[in-house]
Copies of this chain bind each other. A is one copy, B any other.
């Protein structure tokens, strides 16, 4: 089985690569080769099968053409200009997130075979006002260019699938917590910062109130969603191929309580409240909770608790212990 991962250098991409390299197989079929693609060259991990890495711009149709010449059995498409950048650079967002995705789908079409395509979408396809928990039949009315690009890509994926061009599934990831690495400037960054920084013994800033509720999954669980999406029987999924992934709906207050439980009160005390009006306003438009019934029926499983998400970060990123 040949695997192509587009967006392999990103945070979720690297988790996925590691998982596939350790397993050496997918759906009981041995992985025979893997191609990793991203805007910056992905690192080449150790594995029992040949791995090639490439860097390039997905908005250049020649790149997809080249990648598809190897006719991979499974294509994971995780690449995207992130929401903040898609909002400030309108042209780049559409060029990469919409045109790039369509070039990929067209390159697959020209190969005349039937691979599986696993596409990472986002809960950014939804826009306020929401019901208290968003169900599987709720409309996509994005309030960002990124959300529009993801929603259009989902629609294209469904049409290419319906026409028998490939076998596609789009999974809408929850906000990923705890993102490893440095604090970033994304408006949603604080959800990770308030856990990751105290766990590393550092201060973190909380810009919103403790009763803010949001929808989350760990990086490990997100990589698991991708692998599950690549293996499940899609015959039973029907034509609606964009699925909201199960997450956990927790408040910032509950996150901080869990941090104290798992890592001690002194860690939780490293969080400094510094309300930011802009971030508060943005966050008030974000979804708080979902009923991800279809994904749950298909065997996608959320993290068990926010305590578990914190423990996963300690295990996977901090070597299992706190300093």
Contact = CB atoms under 8 A, between A and B. Distances in A.
Interface of A: 90, 127, 131, 136-143, 145, 148, 151-152, 155-156, 158-159, 162-163, 239-240
B143 A239 contact: yes
Nearest to A150: B155
Total identical chains: 2
A267 B105 CA distance: 51
A142 B154 CA distance: 11
A140 B140 contact: yes
B139 A159 contact: no
A138 B143 CA distance: 17
Contacts of A136: 139
Nearest to A141: B240
Contacts of A137: 131, 138-139
Contacts of A155: 140, 142, 148, 151-152, 155
Contacts of A140: 139-140, 155
A145 B199 CA distance: 49
Contacts of A141: 158, 239-240
A156 B148 contact: yes
A270 to B, nearest CB: 38
Given A151-B155, A155-B152, A163 B138 contact: no
A158 B148 contact: yes
A136 B141 CA distance: 11
8 closest A-B pairs (Cβ-Cβ)? A148-B159, A152-B152, A148-B155, A141-B240, A139-B139, A137-B139, A151-B155, A145-B159
5 contacts: A90-B163, A127-B240, A137-B139, A141-B240, A155-B155
A32 to B, nearest CB: 32
B145 A163 contact: yes
A306 to B, nearest CB: 29
A127 B163 contact: no
A95 to B, nearest CB: 12
A87 B131 CA distance: 35
A105 to B, nearest CB: 10
A90 to B, nearest CB: 7
Contacts of A152: 152, 155-156
A194 B262 CA distance: 71
A138 to B, nearest CB: 6
A186 to B, nearest CB: 20
Contacts of A151: 155
Contacts of A163: 90, 145
A239 B152 CA distance: 17
Contacts of A127: 239-240
A140 B154 CA distance: 11
